[in-house]
Amino acid sequence: MTIPGVDYYAAVAIVAEIGDIRRFLNKKQLCSHAGVMPRADNSGERVSQHRSVKKGDAVLKRFLCIAVQGMLRANRDTAIKRFYEKKAKAIGAPKAQVAAARKLACAVWWMLTYNEPFKDEDEELTARKTQRMGVRAREVVPDISEERLKEVGENLIERTPLLDRLTKEAGNAG
């Protein structure tokens, strides 16, 4: 959520689609997985003339593109926004959006790998987004008594052996 224009829904969706960031050894692997990496079908002397991108996780690619749109609407100057504006003039808005999504995927890889905020973070904006998220979370989570919470916990503990057995059976069936 430290990225201007990216709110908690998009942030959660991106992180959920990526999963464990450690499975990507570098940012190029994440970009390729997301389908925002330029494709080259070069062979010997022949160089491909197209600029299409690799196929990848369509949901992650879509959320990265939505995040880029949010960055463009935000009244914040970021390197990715400047990159998009420059590319849009040269290659058109749709291709520039995917190119900016690639830059954003690289930034996300760095942020998740090294547990750092976005380079062009606006701390005041991040604080407002975090506060707004806290208010929404309190609206969604009902007030639950300690007794009811213990009851739910005991119910889950009772069902654990059944869930373990079903998991094993499902694994053996496949």
pLDDT, tens digit (0-9, with 9 covering 90-100), for 103-112: 999 999 999 9
Check residue 157 and give its pLDDT.
Answer: 85
Query: Using one digit for the tens of pLDDT, what is the confidence trace for 47-103?
Result: 666 556 667 889 999 999 999 999 999 888 999 999 999 999 999 999 999 999 999
pTM, rounded to two decimals: 0.72
- Could you please report the per-residue DSSP string of the chain? --STT--HHHHHHHHHHH--GGG-SSHHHHHHHHT-SBP---BTTB------B----HHHHHHHHHHHHHHHHSS---HHHHHHHHHHHHH-HHHHHHHHHHHHHHHHHHHHHHT---TT--HHHHHHHHHHHHHHHHHHSPP--HHHHHHHHHHHHHHHHHHHHHHHHHHHH-
Q: Cα–Cα distance between 45 and 56 in angstroms, integer? A: 27
Q: Cα–Cα distance between 87 and 74 in angstroms, integer? A: 18
Bridge partners of residue 43, in order along the sequence: 46
Query: Using one digit for the tens of pLDDT, what is the confidence trace for 112-138?
Result: 999 999 999 989 989 999 998 888 877
CB 101, CB 32: distance < 8 Å: no
Stated length of the chain:
174
Q: Cα–Cα distance between 89 and 83 in angstroms, integer? A: 10
Q: Which residue has the higher pLDDT, 156 or 39?
A: 156
Domain segments of the chain as ranges: 8-139, 147-173
